[in-house]
Amino acid sequence: MEPQVRYVTSADGTKTATWTIGKGTPLVVAPAIWTQPMEHYWLVPWERRHWERLAQRRMVAVYDNRGQGMSDREVTDFSLEARVSDLTAVVEGLHAPTVDIMAMSNSGPVALTYAAKNPERVRRLILTNSAARGRDLRLSDQRRVTFQLVDVDWLLFQRIQALMSYGFTEFAEAVAMTAAASMTPQVFRAATRAAWQFDATEVAGGVTCPTLVLHQRGNDSISIDVAKQIAATIPDSRLGVYEQPHVTLIGSEETIENIEAFLDEDDRGAAAPAEDLPSGTAIILFADIAGSTALTERLGDAAFREKARVLGASLRAVIRECAGTPVEGPTLGDGVLAVFTSAREAIEAARRCGKAGDDAGLPLHLGLHAGDVTREKDPDGRDNVYGGAVEHRGADQRAVGAGRGACVGDCEVAGADVGGGGVRGQGRAGAEGRGRAGARLGGGGVRYAQQGGAHGTW
C-alpha cells in the first residue's frame, strides 16, 4: 500500500503536500510541529505497519507542515491561525462531508481550534500526547541540551534526536538525514517558537465531537496532569494511557486497536468486518519468549520490555499477513496467541515469527495445536476462545511443506518440512491459561510440546 501525494492551497496561498492511503471516512493526521516530514512515517517499519493497518478501514491523510518537507518552504507565518488555515485546506481538499482528526503533540491547539470552529465537519477527535497550550509541552533535559547544536551542526542535531528516539537502528540514520533535509534550522526555530505560544484553552470546552485523549505513560514531554485536564475540559472525552517506547509513534499494537475501536464506535454497520475467530476445527499458534527471566536480568527490565513490545507488534503483523487472528488477553504475559483456519498458514506464521524473534535477539518457543475450539463472550462482552483437551498425535508431514498437506482430523498437529525436519507433536493441550509451548525452527524443523492450551480474551 503506497501513499498518493497531492497538494492543497491555504488561504494565504501556501501549498501543502498531503499523502493519502486507504478509502473511506478520512482520518486527517495533524503532525507534530517538529523536525519529521511525512516521509518519516514511512521510514519507521512498525509505524508504517500501524498506518497501513489504520488505512484498511478508512482513508488516512497526513500532510507536511508549512516550511517543511514537500510543502512550500518559503514561508514566514507560523502562527496558530496559519496552521488552522492549512488544516482547513487539507480537510476541504478531501471532499468528504465529515472527517476524523488525530493531532500529534504540539499540533493539539491547531486541531482543537479547527474542531471548535467547525463542529459539523469533525466526527471524532484524537489528541496524542498533546495539550491545549503549547507551553504545556516541555523538552526533557537531554533534548534541551541538544538545542545548542541547531545552529552549529544541524545534521548532528538530527542524528542525536533520531538516536534518542530509535536507538542504534538501521533506519535511525535515514530518519536523521530525511529530517535534516526537510527544513532549515532557521525555520525549525521559528516554527517551534511560534508553537510554544499556541493557546486553545478558551475554545477547547466548545469542542462537541467525541474525543480520545491518549497519553504515553512516562512521557517526559507532557505530564499526565495535563492530559487529565484537557480530558476534563472537553465535554465528550475520555482518557487513555498507554505504554510505548518511542514518543514520536502513535502507539503500540494495543493502542492502534483502541484507536480503531474509538473511531468505529458509531459506524460499526458501515465499517469493514472486524477480525473474527473461527469456531470448530482450528489451528492454534502460541509464541513465547524463551528464557525471559534470564534475558530480563541481562538486559534490564526496561530494555527487555521495550524489545518485547516491539517484537510483539511484529509478531501480530506477521500473524495477520498469514491470515491469522491474534487473541489478546491479560493472561498471555509476553506471549502471543493466534488462531488460524489453515495449517499451512499457521506453519508459515510460525516460521516467520521464529525468524522475527531471532532477528530481535529474543528467541521464541513456538507451539502449534490443531483441534476443535469454541467461542464464548465473557460478562464484559469480550470474545473468548477455548480449546478442549486433545491428545496430539505427531507425525513427520513433509507433504504439507510441499503444499500437499492439511490439518487432518480433530487432533493431529499438521506440519511443514522446515529445513528437512518436518513437524512433530506430542503431549496434551488443555483449555485454560497460557500453557507451556515450545518449538524449534531450523535444521530440525518444528518440534511441538505443550501442556495447557488456548484461552484468551481480547
Mean pLDDT to the nearest integer, 243-248: 57
Alpha carbons 362 and 348: distance in angstroms, whole number: 19
Residue type, 72: D
- Catalogue all structural domains in the chain, each as residue range(s) with its CATH number: 4-263 (3.40.50.1820), 280-457 (3.30.70)
pLDDT at 100: 98
Cell of 433: 491459561
pLDDT tens figures, 109-149: 999 999 999 999 999 999 999 999 999 988 878 888 898 99
Percent residues over pLDDT 70 in the chain: 74
β-sheet with 423-430: strand ranges across: 390-391, 423-430, 446-453, 436-438
* Strand ranges of the sheet holding 59-63, from the earlier edge strand across to the other edge: 4-9, 15-21, 59-63, 26-30, 99-104, 122-128, 211-216, 237-242
Helix (H) or strand (E) holding 365: strand 364-377
For the segment 248-263, what is each residue's pLDDT rounded down to a tens digit?
456 667 788 889 999 9
Span 433-457, mean pLDDT?
A: 33
C-alpha cell read off for 45: 517499519
pLDDT of 234 above 70: yes
pLDDT of residue 242: 79
Summarize the confidence of residues 363-385 as an average pLDDT.
69
Angle at the Cα of 299 from the Cα atoms of 296 and 242, rounded to 5 degrees: 70
Residue type, 208: T
What is the grid cell recorded at 196?
Answer: 510554544
Strand order in the sheet with 336-340: 325-327, 336-340, 280-289, 364-377, 383-387, 455-457
Instruction: Find out whether 237 and 264 touch, Cβ atoms under 8 Å.
Output: no
Q: What is the pLDDT of residue 440?
A: 32
Q: How confident is the model at residue 379 (pLDDT cuts 50, 70, 90)?
A: low
Task: State residue 426's pLDDT score.
Answer: 33
Q: How far, rounded to the nearest angstrom, does the alpha carbon of residue 69 sit from its chain's CA centroid?
A: 23
Strand spans (E) along 388-439:
390-391, 423-430, 436-438
SS3 assignment for 242-267? ECCCCCCCCCCHHHHHHHHHHHCCCC
Please say if the pLDDT value at position 183 is more than 90. Answer: yes
Q: Is the pLDDT of residue 322 over 70?
A: yes
pLDDT, mean over the chain: 77
State how far the alpha carbon of 369 is from the alpha carbons of 131, 319, 386, in Å. Answer: 47, 15, 12
Overall size of the chain counted in residues:
458
Question: Which range, of 114-123, 177-186, 419-428, averages the lowest pLDDT?
Answer: 419-428
Please report, in angstroms and rounded to a whole number, the separation of the first and last CA atoms in the chain: 27
The DSSP output letter for 412 is P
What is the model's pLDDT at position 45? 77
Q: Quick check: 381 pLDDT over 60?
A: no
Tell me the residue type at 448.
Y
Report the half-sphere exposure of 117 (CA within 13 A, side-chain side).
Answer: 13
Q: CA of 293: how far to CAs of 297, 310, 334, 439, in Å?
A: 6, 18, 11, 18
Average pLDDT over residues 323-330: 68
CA distance 138 to 196: 9
Q: Which positions ≥6 away from 15 have C-beta within 8 Å?
A: 7, 8, 9, 71, 72
Beta carbons within 8 Å of 269's beta carbon, 6+ residues apart: none
pLDDT band at 307 (very low <50, low <70, confident <90, very high): confident
Q: What pTM was estimated for this model as a whole?
A: 0.60
